[in-house]
Amino acid sequence: MREAIRLALAIAAKDVRAELRSRTALLSAVVFAALVLVVFNFARDPTALAATDLAPSVLWVTFALAAMVALNRAFTVEREHGALDGLLLAPVPRGALFLGKLLANLAFVGTVEGVTLPLFVLFFNVDLTAALPGLIGVTALATIGFVSVGTIFSAMAVRTRFAELMLPVLLLPFMVPPLIGAVQVTSRLLAARPLSEVAGWLRLLTLYDVVFVTLCTMAFAAVVDE
């Protein structure tokens, strides 16, 4: 168990290091998320809808689109120069390999979300001071779930024709429960309502994480092993 965690961390560290050396993908994803926020701001009629009414949905659609962009490249880099084959030849249990890729993707998506949040506050003029800890918590809870499913789908999508199209088509239905939950919780947080109102959603999000992280870890071998 400890060995598997060590291996997973090593794989995640490799990905993070590779990302920090080039930084192009991370920068592009951040710019993409910022652009989505800007587009949303112009896609609403300011005389009819207050920015704060739309804020939770805008935030989560932006997060979902940014995660999609990030996940699309997660295994594309491994395909170049047969890097994935090298990784598969190494004596690493497939579950540990999956957790490593998951951690790397979470670091990537988490960074994009972390940069997007201040921009969101700036553009949509919402006051986050009281809601911030709760918001970080629910973001982590929802993100772990869909990035986990996204990681395994991304490993499949790169092996198909139309990879860039296949991932969103497969992943979006899986994003629906975490996104609905996250939007519900976020709107309650922004309205300064007590968390007890959304206890059901928080339980659902946690259950989703537990079920899908476990299942994806177990199923990953079927995706990468010939």
Partner 1 sequence: MTAAEAARVLTRRGLLISVAALLGLAGVYVLALGYTPVEARQGLAQKIFYLHVPAAWSALMAFSLVGITSGLYLWLQDPRLDRFAAASAEVGVAFSAVMLTTGPIWAKPIWGTWWTWDARLTLTLFLFFLFIGYLALRASVHDPAERARFSAVVGLLGMLLVPFIHLSVYLFRTLHPQPIVLKPSAPSLPPEMLRTLLISMLVFTALYVGLVTLRYGLGLAEDARDEATDVAG
Binding part of the chain for partner 1, among 33-41, 44-52, 87-95, 154-162 by CB under 8 A, reads 154-162
Give the shortest CB-147-to-partner 1 separation in angstroms: 14
* 169 forms part of the interface with partner 1 (CB under 8 A): yes
**Residue whose structure tokens are 């296949």:** 166
By CB under 8 A, the count of residues binding partner 1 is 31
Q: Which is nearer to partner 1, 22 or 160 (CB)?
A: 160
Region of 164 on the Ramachandran plot (φ > 0 left; ψ -120 to 50 alpha; else beta) = alpha
User: In terms of CB distance, is 19 or 209 closer to partner 1?
Assistant: 209
Near partner 1 in 196-225, by CB under 8 A: 200-201, 204, 207-208, 211-212, 215-216, 219, 222-223
d(C-alpha 59, C-alpha 158), whole Å: 28
Residue nearer to partner 1 on the CB measure, 123 or 174? 174
156 counts as binding partner 1 under rule CB under 8 A: yes
Angle at the Cα of 204 from the Cα atoms of 201 and 208, rounded to 5 degrees: 140
153, 158, 209, 217: which one contacts partner 1 (CB under 8 A)?
153
Strand runs labelled E in the chain: none
Contact string (CB under 8 A) for partner 1, positions 108-137, x = contact: ------------------------------
CA–CA gap between residue 115 and residue 31 (Å, rounded) = 10
If one asks whether residue 107 binds partner 1 (CB under 8 A), the answer comes out as: no
* 140 is a site residue for partner 1 (CB under 8 A): no
Task: Give the span between the Cα atoms of 24 and 100, in whole angstroms.
Answer: 21
Dihedral of the alpha carbons of 188, 190, 196, 198, in degrees to the nearest 10:
40
Q: Which is nearer to partner 1, 29 or 168 (CB)?
A: 168
Rounded to whole angstroms, the Cα distance separating 14 from 221 reads: 20
What distance in Å separates the CA atoms of residue 165 and residue 150, rounded to the nearest whole number? 13
Q: Which is nearer to partner 1, 105 or 116 (CB)?
A: 105
Q: Return the SS3 of 48.
A: coil
Is residue 172 a contact point for partner 1 (CB under 8 A)? Answer: yes
To partner 1, the closest distance from the beta carbon of 126 in angstroms equals: 24
The CA distance from 134 to 189, in Å, is 7
The conformational region for residue 81 under phi > 0 = left, psi -120 to 50 = alpha, else beta, is left
Q: Which residues would be at the binding site for partner 1 (CB under 8 A)?
A: 149, 152-153, 156, 159-162, 166, 169-170, 172-174, 176-177, 180-181, 200-201, 204, 207-208, 211-212, 215-216, 219, 222-223, 226
